[in-house]
Amino acid sequence: MTTTHEPTLFEKSRPGRTGYSIPTCAASASDLPAELARETAVELPELSEVDVVRHYTRLSQRNFGIDLGMYPLGSCTMKYNPRINEATARYSGFAKLHPHTPPTQAQGALALMHELQNMLAEISGLGAVSLQPAAGAHGEMTGLMVIRAYHTKNGNPRKKVLIPDTAHGTNPASSTICNYEVETVGSDAHGGIDLDALAAKMNEDVAALMITNPNTLGLFESRIAEAAKIVHDRGGLVYCDGANLNAILGITRPGDFGADVMHINLHKTFTTPHGGGGPGAGPVAVRDFLAPFLPVPAIVKTANGYDWDYDRPDSVGKVHAFFGNFGMLVRAYTYIREMGAKGLAKVSAMAVLNATYIKESLKDVYHLAYDEPCMHECVLSDKGMPGGVTTMDIAKRLMDYGFHPPTVYFPLIVKGSIMIEPTETESLENCDRFIEAMKEIRRDAETNPDMIHEAPHHAPVTRLNDVQAAKRMRLTADL
């Protein structure tokens, strides 16, 4: 990665330069009334095309991506992004399709979405799917709205959502948007949900249990069916956060282990890119009895082909201006069609094999939070590290070895946690290199801890001052 400073677009700007090329217009001009017109031009940069191309190329060189190396981010799942996905999403029949195109002239897109819904229903073991949510957290919100609408229809929206202490921060935030109170359920000694605590908290005020399975410790909630029964017996529903679906593809299905609602992060499980923070896509899958509550419009198959159906009186409404992140749906569809059933099952098997291999190789070198069989990710910690070396130090030092750091300080129930998810697209050699780097950091912590405290040494910048950023609050460049 390049370590030379890159000036901002605004610093590079020179009056009179331009990178645009637009048609000249023989059309009639007419002025806007003065009270509506902008008085001065927007202070955008003035650059030629080559200036712009160099700027962004150089910025790209100051970034790490999966294409440069391993990205072992637990619960965030950064796997290889196949190039065919990028090609198909750009076919002009998809990319140039306007969302108001009459459905009769968009049958290919509707067919693809209908088929993807069916495939996601089969994979999740749930009957009905909406592709509209634009991200995982957007899917959570939508799924919880479905739950709330269902309970409301039955006469009582209920008040609370129970969430294990290992949950993603989006779970409580999404619950709050749906006007639910959040109550935390603890974990047992094996890192699973504490069933006694769950039973004690479960009552007729609880709308749902919101659980991640495999959970964010990387462990399969082996008593999930009992947990679901406790919730169902008191009229609640089970929401499964689908962040870790990639560990169980074709092995077990949320619908089969008691989930009523789940979202599926297409960017985590089905290889659509995260792109520095999105776009993602977060389809929601529900049991058949909840289908009427899904967002509008729904896709329906009629004798004449596919069409939109807006006439769904129990629906929670619209969650997106159009139909969701269609371009991401094309990528996920392409991936599932390439892999097939056996391919997807192998994805999970190899993801679990890699994580288990790393866990077993490092558990004598780093503190292992829960020594249990793991799924696609494992959680270590900085407990007992010599030289005052912290999890953040380890993360920054890994950059010097050419790895993106793992997820750090999450889940919250493990102090100083380091959450590693290699994914199935990393080879044995890459896993070995990562293990070796982790072992060297441990050795260096004993002999030369200052070097680790000062890492990274080979990144584009040294450690950045977060406190100053928040204090000075410089969120835009000066004119």
Q: Which CB atom, from 107 or from 446, has the smaller least distance to other proteins?
A: 107
Q: Which CB atom, from 43 or from 446, has the smaller least distance to other proteins?
A: 43
- String of contacts with other proteins for each residue 118-157, x by CB under 8 A: -x--xx-x--------xxxxx-xx---x--x--------x
Of 240-269, which residues contact other proteins (CB under 8 A)? Answer: 248-253, 256-257, 265, 267
Residue type present at position 473: M
Q: Where are the alpha helices (DSSP H) in 161-219?
A: 170-177, 195-201
- String of contacts with other proteins for each residue 44-83, x by CB under 8 A: xxxx-x--xx-xxx-xxxxxxxxxx--x-x--x-xxxxx-
Of 413-442, which residues contact other proteins (CB under 8 A)? Answer: 424-428
Q: In the 8-state DSSP scheme, what is residue 29?
A: P
Of 161-190, which residues contact other proteins (CB under 8 A)? Answer: 168-170, 172-179, 182
Alpha-carbon distances of 3 from 61, 296, 462, rounded to whole Å: 9, 49, 10
Q: Which CB atom, from 102 or from 384, has the smaller least distance to other proteins?
A: 102
Q: How far is the CB of 116 from other proteins (least distance, A)?
A: 11
Q: Which CB atom, from 28 or from 447, has the smaller least distance to other proteins?
A: 28
Interatomic CA distance for residues 295 and 279, integer angstroms: 20
Residue type present at position 348: S
> Taking contact as CB under 8 A, which single stretch among the options 5-13, 197-205, 283-291, 379-387 is the one that binds other proteins?
5-13
Of 338-357, which residues contact other proteins (CB under 8 A)? Answer: 338-347, 349-350, 352-354, 356-357
Interatomic CA distance for residues 336 and 122, integer angstroms: 12
SS3 31: coil
Residue type present at position 62: R
Q: How far is the CB of 52 from other proteins (least distance, A)?
A: 5
Of 441-470, which residues contact other proteins (CB under 8 A)? Answer: 454, 456, 459-466, 468-470
Of 207-226, which residues contact other proteins (CB under 8 A)? Answer: 219-220, 222, 224-225
Q: Which CB atom, from 136 or from 236, has the smaller least distance to other proteins?
A: 136
Neighbour tally for 476: CB within 10 Å: 6
Neighbour tally for 248: CB within 10 Å: 22
Q: Are 148 and 157 in contact (CB under 8 A)?
A: yes
Q: Where are the alpha helices (DSSP H) in 90-207?
A: 92-95, 107-124, 136-153, 170-177, 195-201
Token representation of residue 425: 């697209």
SS3 478: coil
Q: Which CB atom, from 201 or from 396, has the smaller least distance to other proteins?
A: 396
Interatomic CA distance for residues 134 and 328, integer angstroms: 9
Told to check if 84 binds other proteins by CB under 8 A, we report yes
Q: How far is the CB of 141 from other proteins (least distance, A)?
A: 6
Helices 428-447, 326-362: axis angle to 10 degrees equals 60
Q: How far is the CB of 82 from other proteins (least distance, A)?
A: 6
Q: How far is the CB of 328 from other proteins (least distance, A)?
A: 6
Kindly determine how many residues on this chain lie close enough to bind other proteins according to the rule CB under 8 A. 204
